[in-house]
Amino acid sequence: MAPEPNEDDGRWQEAGDHATSETIPTDAIIRGTDVVKEYETGGQIVRALKGVDFGIAPADFVAVVGPSGSGKSTLLNLLGLLDVATSGDVRLRGRDVSTFTDRERTRKRKETIGFVFQSFYLIPTLTALENVEMPRMLDRTPTKTRQRARQLLERVGLGDRLDHYPDELSGGQKQRVAIARSLINDPDIVLADEPTGNLDRDTGDRILELFDELRRDENVAVVTVTHDDYVAEAADRVVTLIDGRIRETESRRANFEEGPDP
Amino acid sequence: MNPLRWLVGRFPTLALARRNLSRATLRSALAITAVVIGVVAIGAIGTGGEAFKQDQLEAYEGFGGTATVEPDVQFEDGNLTNTELSDGDIDRIRQAAGSATVLPVHEPAGSFVQTQSGTLLFRARVKGLENPGEFYEARNGTMPDNWRRTIVIGARIADQNDLEPGDRLRVNVTDEFDRSFEIAAVLKPQGFSAPLGADRTVFVPASEFESGGYEQAIVRVDTTTGSVDAATQAIEREFNAREQLVRVEQVQEQREQFTEFFGTVNQFLIGVGAISLLVAAVTIANTMLMAAIERESEIGVLRAYGYPKRAVVSLLVAESTILGVVGAAIGAPLALGIGMAINQLLLGDPFAFTAAGLRYVGIGVGFGVVTALVAGLYPAWKAANKRPVEALD
């Protein structure tokens, strides 16, 4: 039975040390075994993932690298409960996700996952603050949501940009709004697709520092798909996908806390 | 917390929907315009039709105590018989009807009317009366007392041909006379329900006719002192005891026929108005489909962030419904304004709305909103069922 989210911050309360030197963490929030994903395009079946194993533990920082078409986005979609595997076993806190209805998947996604999309996908008619509030706008707790959104924006250093619209923000600022938005539901995992792809090095640095802080302070795991070696270097683990298979898993740091101070 | 903020917190879907609409202002405005046209069409046709009906019914009111008597024409051995009422018949009608005014009418079969410049007045009818002043009032000129050498004409003939008292018309009646008359008076408009179709008639003095027979007689009872029913029955008894010689018809009956006929026409017109709302529905569905396609990835983001399908449907349906509500909110006052103009024109009082007329505005508003809501359903359903993965690609 999965533990219930804590009312205050919605975070899964995990006991014990999650530092592990194994490739697949044992206390994984989400775990996949021999996962295969096939698509049908133009009458042809394309096998995007050909039997991969994965697991994401609390406060993990995993970088998924690989050439385009290697199945990175497919893997991210499975982790984000946006898609279901064709075969193999994907479990969220021990529960088989293939048994979820669309409605359950949607709810679990809301409770567990935060997304940072490559092109941000901020809603142009909403201010920075409202964009951050967006995932919780239907929750009818406007005061609480607003408080949390404000706090998150201050945290990503945009306390002075609350009422700016996306077209009044720079790329890095939009990215930080997107990150703040991904945290509004107090997720266990943040999935970031090319989080530094559109940013200069300095801004990218700040985003990575922010990820470290969030892992340390909020116990959030970060999984990122990247082409950027520099992002991969900052990760605990680097998973290399080639042609739908994991070729290499490299553990750089057993735990970010043991890594060099930022 | 300020009230606006409270509202947004309370109805976040509506707030989001409104902002989404403001993104494509022109497109939203066009969709709203389509609804406005539909609502105005239904509302204005409805109220206008009701005003027209009121106007016609008022005209009937003036003839409330009126009946027409016509010979019951028979067709025997290739000949028409019993085509006229004689002077004797008129006397019998007068006696039977008691205190009623009886107005014998010549209604010749072959006649034409020409202006002095030779233009034929095709639609004018010629009727002979003894004393039009008993029945009609003049709008222009004065009704002649001792009527001999002049004519009086209906309002519509005067208006359509720019005629006024003092002008002359040539009137030709087959086998009777062919001469020019001066117009003494133009009658007040009577409405098309008037027993003699007065608005389109040229009245000439009965003395111009040499034949003694009349094609029709109008019986008018002062309803404060007598009853048109009693007069009708008396005339029926006098003439039709053994065989049917005359047909007596009360204007009241014609009024009922008119109401029925008018109801059908009005329903048809409302149907035409409803078609314009159907067009509005197509416009809105198109607008919403475009919006759904344009915002595919944004809707994908909502879904990814845990918005259930239902929330996406609600959002898009809220958008289309707002288009309908705004359209109806603009359309209703416009329809009422047009209704007021028609009321002023026909009834002389801008606020002479009937409950039925106002109901049409309500129906227009209701249909406008519901149409918009329904039109939004399919695009919303389509957008909500798009898998977020596809939407985000």
Minimum distance, in Å, between the CA of residue A22 and any CA atom of chain B? 30
Residue A38 in 3-state DSSP? Answer: strand
Residue-range definition of the domain harbouring residue B277: 3-60+257-392
Q: Do B298 and A123 touch (CB under 8 A)?
A: yes
Q: Do B305 and A77 touch (CB under 8 A)?
A: no
Q: Do B10 and A140 touch (CB under 8 A)?
A: yes
- Alpha-carbon torsion B226, B229, B235, B237, what sign? negative
Residue B183 in 3-state DSSP? Answer: strand
Which pLDDT belongs to residue B65?
76
CA distance B252 to B236: 17
pLDDT band at B332 (very low <50, low <70, confident <90, very high): very high
First CA to last CA across chain B, in angstroms? 39
State the Cα angle at B154 between B150 and B158, rounded to 5°: 90
Interface test with A, best of B2, B6, B305, B312 (most A CBs within 10 A): B305
Average pLDDT over residues A74-88: 90
List of residues 6+ apart from A76 with CB closer than 8 A: A64, A191, A193, A223, A225
Q: Do A142 and B5 touch (CB under 8 A)?
A: yes
Residue in the structure block whose two tokens are 């409104």: B18
B167 and B315 both lie in a single domain: no
Q: How far is CA A219 from the centre of its chain?
A: 12
Q: Do B305 and A142 touch (CB under 8 A)?
A: no
Q: How many angstroms separate the Cα of A168 from the Cα of each of A122, A197, B158? A: 12, 20, 70
Interface A-B, measured as beta-carbon pairs within 8 A, has a size of 70
CA distance A246 to A227: 16
- Alpha-carbon torsion B273, B274, B279, B283, what sign? positive
B375 and B235 both lie in a single domain: no
Q: Could you give phi then psi for residue A241, rounded to 5 degrees?
A: -105, 130
B77 and B219 both lie in a single domain: yes
B212 and B105 both lie in a single domain: yes
How is chain A split among helix, strand and coil, in percent rounded to 5? 35, 25, 40
Residue in the structure block whose two tokens are 């898609």: A83
Domain's final residue, options B199, B219, B250: B250
pLDDT band at A5 (very low <50, low <70, confident <90, very high): very low
The lowest-confidence range among A20-24, A53-57, A180-184, B178-182 is A20-24
Write out the residues of chain B at the interface with chain A, using a CB-CB cutoff of 8 A. 1, 5-6, 8-10, 12-13, 16, 19-20, 22-23, 297-298, 300-309, 311, 387-389, 392
The lowest-confidence range among A61-75, A246-260, B91-105, B303-317 is A246-260
Q: Report the top-level CATH class of A60-68+101-254.
A: alpha beta
pLDDT tens figures, B32-46: 999 999 999 999 888
B244 and B97 both lie in a single domain: yes
pLDDT tens figures, A93-120: 888 988 999 889 999 999 999 999 888 8
First CA to last CA across chain A, in angstroms? 37
Chain B residues close to A102, C-beta within 8 Å: 309
Identity of the residue in B297, B300, B305 whose CB atom sits nearest the CB atom of A135: B305
CB of B209 within 8 A of CB of B176? yes
B95 and B173 both lie in a single domain: yes
Q: Do A82 and B387 touch (CB under 8 A)?
A: yes
Q: Do A140 and B304 touch (CB under 8 A)?
A: no
B97 and B175 both lie in a single domain: yes
- Kindly tell me if the per-residue pLDDT of A2 is higher than 60: no
Minimum distance, in Å, between the CA of residue A137 and any CA atom of chain B? 6
Q: Which of A195, A212, A190 is nearest to A11 (CA)?
A: A190
B69 and B140 both lie in a single domain: yes
User: How many contiguous H segments (helices) and E segments (strands) does chain A have?
Assistant: 7, 10
CA distance B119 to A231: 96
B261 and B388 both lie in a single domain: yes
- What six digits make up the tokens of B320? 């289309």
pLDDT tens figures, B104-163: 888 888 888 988 888 888 888 898 888 888 778 888 888 888 788 889 998 888 888 888
CA distance B52 to A189: 71
Q: Which of A16, A52, A12, A13 is nearest to A32 (CA)?
A: A52
B210 and B78 both lie in a single domain: yes
Residue in the structure block whose two tokens are 């000439």: B204
pLDDT band at A147 (very low <50, low <70, confident <90, very high): very high
Which pLDDT belongs to residue A172?
85
B199 and B292 both lie in a single domain: no
Q: Could you give phi then psi for residue A68, rounded to 5 degrees?
A: -70, 145
B7 and B75 both lie in a single domain: no
- Alpha-carbon torsion A147, A153, A155, A160, what sign? negative
Minimum distance, in Å, between the CA of residue B384 and any CA atom of chain A? 12
- What six digits make up the tokens of B106? 């010549």
Identity of the residue in B306, B308, B387 whose CB atom sits nearest the CB atom of A135: B306
- Alpha-carbon torsion B280, B281, B284, B289, what sign? negative
- Kindly tell me if the per-residue pLDDT of B290 is higher than 60: yes
Minimum distance, in Å, between the CA of residue B12 and any CA atom of chain A? 6
- Alpha-carbon torsion A201, A202, A207, A212, what sign? positive
Domain's final residue, options B208, B224, B250: B250
Q: Do B22 and A143 touch (CB under 8 A)?
A: no
Q: Which of B160, B206, B164 is nearest to B186 (CA)?
A: B164
More confident: B333 or A8: B333
* Average per-residue pLDDT for chain A: 82
Give the single-character DSSP code of B66.
E
CB of A122 within 8 A of CB of A182? no
Which pLDDT belongs to residue A256?
42
Chain A residues close to B306, C-beta within 8 Å: 106-107, 109-111, 135, 185
Counting the structural domains of chain B, the total is 2
